[in-house]
A and B are shown apart, each in its own frame.
Chain A
Amino acid sequence: MRLRAFLAASGLTAALAAAAALALAGGRPPRDAEVRATISAADALGGGDTAGFARATAPRPFAFPRDHGPHPGFRNEWWYFTGNLDGPDGRRFGYQLTFFRTALAPAAPRRRSEWGASEVYMAHLAVTDAAGRTFHAYDRFARAAVGLAGARAAPFRVWLEDWRAEGEPAPSGSAPEVRRAAAGSTADGAAPSERAPFPIRLRAAHGDIGIDLRLERGKPPVLQEERGLSRKGPQPGNASYYYSLTRMPTTGTIRLAGDTFRVRGESWMDREWSTSALGSDEVGWDWFALQLDDGRELMLYRIRRRDGSASPFSGGSIVAPDGTATPLSLADARLDVLDHWTSPGGTRYPARWRLRVPTAGLDLDVRPVLPDQELNVTVRYWEGAVDVSGTSRGRPVRGRGYVELTGYGDAAAPASADAPAPSCQNLPTFANATGCATFRAREPGAPRSGPRWARGAGLRATGR
């Protein structure tokens, strides 16, 4: 889940206007409220409910490479690449390249102009340089029209302008066949269909900061939770389809202010699509994707509720070295915050954790490689590379990963509905203080509250 949910659903839509105004204005959103968007998410969505969109209500068969491509019936979807890389002399880097697709309306009207679009893409690029202690983050927006942005399954390609993730063309003319993956499957070796998008090439740059990476096939896709159906709340349909590629050997280059570094490491991709997700009481989440040197991966997310407790719909999975995934429930993990960091904008984020999963024999210390990995873009949140150390079944273990933190700016947000800005900090004002990631799902009959544009915006975060 992660940011994706909120971003794609609420944030993206709400951010459209702001992006329009500032997407390129020097990369930094102007601070004055005048420029900030107050776009009506509800109006933008043409009524704001989920009518006309597909819903994730029951497990479905997954098929690859088809499901690497877009699922246009759903409102929101994302391709979320993160990775930890080593440069020469062990210089440590982290990167994030994310593409969000949001449908503004269930069906695109037929139009004479090809610019007519019902889908908008947002992309985030972030690079962490641990040695240089710098963090760079950028965002972009474009409509899915005239080739400016889009996605397709075969040959695999997701792009927003010149930021792109592309599968290399298949070596021989073998038409990629569709293969069914079983829930929680341990997909074994290399059926051609599983190889299909690999290697994936990621290319994105903003000014003199950029990445050019080649991701090889690692472990097979993991269908998260209930055979890929990830429930985010008690209401049926507040769920997403969710699979992950938890470990992909990665090589390539990172460009930083004139220097180009050859890098090598491992990446993770999360894929999710949904129409609605988070419940009303949920304010944000902490999400962990950790790759351990015992060959296992741990994915864990905790949806935080308004009262500070964790939602029962929190969860995660452990992926064995052979690719077998074991779902985790809220009760399986214990998360303690050891430290905090306050951003220049005044948002206080957790900054170190003790993470225990007794059933998997894990007791881990998770530390950000830099405290400041806050993406200060149109939609503001924290997403950054972390180092892991601890024990795995009593033996020392090390690892790396990515952590995403959303919904922390809420307390600092102005209460005025007139000063909305599409940042995490301010989003609550849209959503009547329900939280950065948690535009309330309005189920039929649910009471309407909050500003009109927030009511029934149909914006929900995900949480699985």
Chain B
Amino acid sequence: MSPTLWRSSLRHLLRHPWQAALSVLGIALGVAVVAAVDLATGSAGRAFTLSTEAVTGRATHEVVGGPEGIPDSVYTRLRVDLGVRPIAPVVEGYARAPAYPGRTLRLLGVDPFAEGPFRAYAASLGRRTHVAALLVRPGAVLLSGATARELGLRVGDALVVRAGGRDHTLTLAGVLEPADDASRRALDDLVLADIATAQEVVGTPGRLSRIDVRAPDGAAGAALLARIRGALPSGASLEATSARTGAVAGMTRAFELNLRALSLLALVFGMFLIYNTMTFSVVQRRPLLGTLRAVGVTRGQIFTLLLGEALLIGAAGTAVGLLLGVALGGGLVRLVTRTINDLYFVVAVRGVSLSAPALAKAALLGLGATLLAAAAPALEATSAPPRAVLSRSLLEARARRAAPRAGLAGAALLALGGGLLAVPSRSLPLSLGAVFVLILGAALLVPLATLGLMRAIRPLAGRLFGLAGRMAAGGVAATLSRTAPAVAALSVAVSVGVAVGVMIGSFRDTVVRWLQSTLQADVYVSVPGFSSTRSDVPIDPALARRLTATPGVAAVTTSRTVTVSSPVGDVRLVAVAAPRGVVRPFRFKEGEPAEAWRRLERGEVLVSEPFAYRHGLHVGSTVALRTDRGARTFRVAGVYYDYASERGMVYMDRRAYDAVFDDRAISAMAFFAAPGVDPDMLVQRLRARAGGAQELWIRSNRGLREATLVVFDRTFAITGVLRVLSLAVAFVGVLSALMALQLERSRELGVLRATGLTRAQLGALVSGQTTLMGLAAGLLAIPVGTMLAAVMILVVNKRSFGWTLEMSLPPAMLLQGVAVAVVAALLAGLYPALRMARTPPAVALREE
């Protein structure tokens, strides 16, 4: 292709810097959001993998036990009586350092003499460190050099940590300086201690979290594993380490997939923008392109030229987007980590880690989206005969004719999307794909709907605003080729915003109602854990007795929450001891309540809705759990609504729990005040009795409800951020489309000015037009948003998390959507209107 053609292309871009810049911005924002979400979830995932590897090391298998871990004696039996090696005892736990708020430290207790074959950094235990000191001195720990420096600690310094609600003073006995970067990162926030110290800090003397096993491949390894299995007590089992790591990593999959889908939406809006820009630039250059075709430039060359332009914009936007994405990712990673910690597991993430694949993926998506969006206008420009390209009215006429066809395609896509959703599958990608199909379908319906709306509005607008009103409505319809993409983009963005808002709102309302019906006691007591929603840390038994005896307490319900393993992975199990007469306010999804409670007392279990959904359970199904008496199965007596755990819970009567577990601890207590006792007064009394021996959360019913909702809102913070970002992209799109549109109409408007329209009238006309576009987008967003919200609540959420949410559709939310669309359009039309109004008619008439 000749350089002349490229030069013409370049000149065009330079002549319309605003347009090019806005396109670049739109793509940049889209790419930035995609890259940021990818980097943030990737960083969290990598941090998790690294810290898992740091503590798993080269172990191939592990012996795990019941909720209380494994007795020391199991290790001694394996190592001394049976001579099994290499195996290593491990005690793991989390601790917070009050001096460093917001920091969760992972405590790893090992036996230095057994470590060699397991953890790489154990090799550096010997360097400049003090293994004997670790053994002899209670509280002696090692940190990585980087962590020690960040905490400002030197060897010999004290570090106070809080674990299990108690403070422990640790002493830094040495620092580890692993040679390679991966090991260094793995040691971030890891506190390495002798196993004795770890047991004391974690509060599990006599118990190991697990026993690591390194089995060789082949027959020797199989024989070793068989020997270990044969020696284990009924409460313990031997499992491959990969199983655990995989299961934990899999927990966040749905969460991450939803985030990715949301981020892709931002890119889709970016695509609208590119489409719009390219369409517009084709329209703008129709004389030039027509001439070129007439003088013999081939279709292929024109096509390449237009795609080349798009690619240039896309490349610039992608480059800027990647930079933005890295910056944005740093902010998002904190939100993602917070949510993961709240919902899934504890992970410490130190900022965003750049991953080349994630960046490459975002770049490819950005460029691909650009080319895809530009292909349609480019094809359009090349497929028409040379003379036709010259004619603008022909183009608009074609656009109007195309509107019903697009509408038909849109309707077909909507039907396809509906069909995809109706497929009886639990596949989350499928349902997210269906959502995208629905969005695309809705977008394709926009031109037709806009035409219809304008036709309906025109008389009304004429009556209200006279000629300007009629002209504005007519103008939107007359320039459909350029207004439709803008309206579609805005409309889809607003619908998604509405849908996500409705979904979160419905979720929140559901949770609020659930909390109101579930939280019946007056005061709740638990031990602060490392995640806001889960705590296995037991309440000191003596303290629990003291609290129970508080005057003014009418009844106490206690619960024990633990994680037990099962054939389907780790299961959260809650065992509740409720005094007679206390009504447990569950709402059952399946099972007759009275019957279910009776069966519960006979040793059957209840499962929460997400648990039942995940594992396909119904009343009468069985759940297998590994107990201290070996594997046991429990019949499901009922399925109850519960929004506390996304992974689901198994609910058991305490007596049934005590029959198969040796654990006698309690994790939480619920107090009912005696008649006439003020709950707030009871909170005060309980706090006074608790003293400072163990840090406890003692909260009134209201306090707990509020705290729960705080966590809820925090969990959805990232969703809200992504929603705003998507809207920002759409806004840029509308701005760009309107500006281009109005600038392109300068000649037409010049004629109007020359024929007597005042500046104010012109301004009103332009603003009116953009307002109408905004209104159209907003009105269209109501049904589309409602539809998307329903899909998200009934399908996507259900498939991701298994929760039944009651959809609440506040009119305010819908009106807010319309308002957002109108305001966005008005804002976007402001500058073009001002500029048009200021341009002297003569200049405008001269056009180019």
Given contacts A115-B72, A120-B135, A143-B135, contact A21 B196 (CB under 8 A): no
**0/1 interface trace, chain B 126-148, chain A, CB 8 Å (1 if under):** 11111111011110000000000
Is A257 close to B, CB under 8 A?
no
Alpha-carbon separation in the docked complex, A280 to B327 (Å): 63
B195 near A113 with CB under 8 A, answer yes
A113 near B113 with CB under 8 A, answer no
B136 near A104 with CB under 8 A, answer yes
The residue from A17, A45, A105, A116 contacting B131, defined by CB atoms under 8 A apart? A17
The residue from B86, B115, B126 contacting A37, defined by CB atoms under 8 A apart? B126
**0/1 interface trace, chain B 265-301, chain A, CB 8 Å (1 if under):** 0000000000000000000000000000000000000
B123 near A21 with CB under 8 A, answer yes
A16 near B80 with CB under 8 A, answer no
- The minimal Cβ–Cβ distance linking B481 to chain A, given in whole angstroms, is 70
Stretch at the interface among B197-205, B457-465, B585-593, B732-740: B197-205
Given contacts A16-B131, A104-B136, contact A115 B194 (CB under 8 A): yes
Is B124 close to A, CB under 8 A?
yes
A104 near B132 with CB under 8 A, answer yes
Is B122 close to A, CB under 8 A?
yes
- The minimal Cβ–Cβ distance linking B678 to chain A, given in whole angstroms, is 40
Is A205 close to B, CB under 8 A?
yes
Is A320 close to B, CB under 8 A?
no
Alpha-carbon separation in the docked complex, A35 to B128 (Å): 11
The interface residues of chain A lying within 8 Å CB-to-CB of B73 are 146-147
- The minimal Cβ–Cβ distance linking B506 to chain A, given in whole angstroms, is 49
Q: Which residue of B lies closest to A162 (CB)?
A: B83
Is B404 close to A, CB under 8 A?
no
Given contacts A35-B123, A112-B199, A113-B206, contact A24 B132 (CB under 8 A): no
The interface residues of chain B lying within 8 Å CB-to-CB of A37 are 126-127, 131
Alpha-carbon separation in the docked complex, A36 to B126 (Å): 6
A113 near B86 with CB under 8 A, answer no
B135 near A38 with CB under 8 A, answer no
The residue from B113, B122, B124, B138 contacting A34, defined by CB atoms under 8 A apart? B124
**0/1 interface trace, chain B 82-105, chain A, CB 8 Å (1 if under):** 110110000000000000000000
Given contacts A112-B205, A161-B83, contact A39 B129 (CB under 8 A): yes
Q: Which of A29-55 contact B (CB under 8 A)?
A: 30, 34-40, 43-46
Q: Which of A14-33 contact B (CB under 8 A)?
A: 16-25, 30
User: Number of B residues contacting the other chain (C-beta, 8 Å)?
Assistant: 43
Is A148 close to B, CB under 8 A?
yes
Is A142 close to B, CB under 8 A?
yes
Is A13 close to B, CB under 8 A?
yes
Q: Which residue of A lies closest to B155 (CB)?
A: A43
The interface residues of chain A lying within 8 Å CB-to-CB of B115 are 20-21
The residue from B116, B130, B206 contacting A24, defined by CB atoms under 8 A apart? B116
- The minimal Cβ–Cβ distance linking B513 to chain A, given in whole angstroms, is 45
Given contacts A18-B126, A21-B125, A162-B83, contact A113 B117 (CB under 8 A): no
Is B79 close to A, CB under 8 A?
yes
Q: Which residue of B lies closest to A150 (CB)?
A: B80
The interface residues of chain A lying within 8 Å CB-to-CB of B72 are 114-115, 146
Q: Which of A95-113 contact B (CB under 8 A)?
A: 104-105, 109, 111-113
A162 near B80 with CB under 8 A, answer yes
A146 near B130 with CB under 8 A, answer no
Alpha-carbon separation in the docked complex, A161 to B88 (Å): 13
Is A118 close to B, CB under 8 A?
yes
The interface residues of chain B lying within 8 Å CB-to-CB of A18 are 126
The interface residues of chain B lying within 8 Å CB-to-CB of A104 are 132, 135-136
B123 near A111 with CB under 8 A, answer no
B117 near A116 with CB under 8 A, answer no
The interface residues of chain B lying within 8 Å CB-to-CB of A161 are 79-80, 83, 85
- The minimal Cβ–Cβ distance linking B616 to chain A, given in whole angstroms, is 43
Is A159 close to B, CB under 8 A?
yes
Given contacts A17-B112, A20-B125, contact A113 B205 (CB under 8 A): yes
Alpha-carbon separation in the docked complex, A112 to B195 (Å): 12
Q: Which residue of B lies closest to A421 (CB)?
A: B126
The interface residues of chain A lying within 8 Å CB-to-CB of B137 are 46
The interface residues of chain B lying within 8 Å CB-to-CB of A143 are 111, 113, 135
Alpha-carbon separation in the docked complex, A79 to B123 (Å): 29
The residue from A118, A146, A162 contacting B136, defined by CB atoms under 8 A apart? A118
Q: Which residue of A lies closest to B197 (CB)?
A: A113
The interface residues of chain B lying within 8 Å CB-to-CB of A109 are 136, 138
The interface residues of chain A lying within 8 Å CB-to-CB of B113 are 16, 19-20, 23, 120, 141-143
Alpha-carbon separation in the docked complex, A178 to B76 (Å): 32
The interface residues of chain A lying within 8 Å CB-to-CB of B76 are 146-148
B112 near A16 with CB under 8 A, answer yes
The residue from B126, B133, B138, B199 contacting A21, defined by CB atoms under 8 A apart? B126
- The minimal Cβ–Cβ distance linking B54 to chain A, given in whole angstroms, is 16
The residue from A111, A120, A142 contacting B132, defined by CB atoms under 8 A apart? A120
The interface residues of chain A lying within 8 Å CB-to-CB of B112 are 16-17, 20
B200 near A159 with CB under 8 A, answer no
The interface residues of chain B lying within 8 Å CB-to-CB of A39 are 126, 129-132
A38 near B127 with CB under 8 A, answer yes
A117 near B135 with CB under 8 A, answer yes
Alpha-carbon separation in the docked complex, A35 to B127 (Å): 7
A113 near B135 with CB under 8 A, answer no
A205 near B83 with CB under 8 A, answer yes
Alpha-carbon separation in the docked complex, A19 to B123 (Å): 9
Among A44, A45, A141, A162, the most chain B Cβ lie within 10 Å of the Cβ of A44
Alpha-carbon separation in the docked complex, A111 to B116 (Å): 26
The interface residues of chain A lying within 8 Å CB-to-CB of B195 are 113, 115
Is B303 close to A, CB under 8 A?
no
The residue from B125, B129, B199 contacting A113, defined by CB atoms under 8 A apart? B199
The interface residues of chain A lying within 8 Å CB-to-CB of B135 are 16, 104, 117-118, 120, 143
Q: Which residue of B lies closest to A40 (CB)?
A: B130
The residue from A17, A40, A105, A111 contacting B125, defined by CB atoms under 8 A apart? A17
Return 28 A-B CB contacts under 8 Å, by A number: A16-B135, A17-B129, A20-B116, A20-B126, A20-B131, A25-B116, A25-B117, A37-B127, A39-B129, A39-B132, A43-B130, A44-B136, A46-B137, A112-B205, A113-B195, A113-B196, A113-B197, A114-B206, A115-B195, A117-B135, A118-B135, A120-B135, A143-B111, A146-B75, A148-B76, A148-B79, A161-B85, A162-B82
- Additional A-B contact list (15), CB under 8 Å, known A20-B115, A161-B79: A17-B130, A17-B131, A17-B132, A20-B112, A34-B127, A35-B124, A35-B126, A36-B127, A39-B132, A40-B130, A46-B133, A111-B200, A116-B138, A116-B196, A148-B76
The 9 closest A-B pairs by CB, nearest first: A44-B132, A17-B126, A162-B83, A37-B126, A20-B112, A115-B196, A113-B199, A113-B196, A116-B196
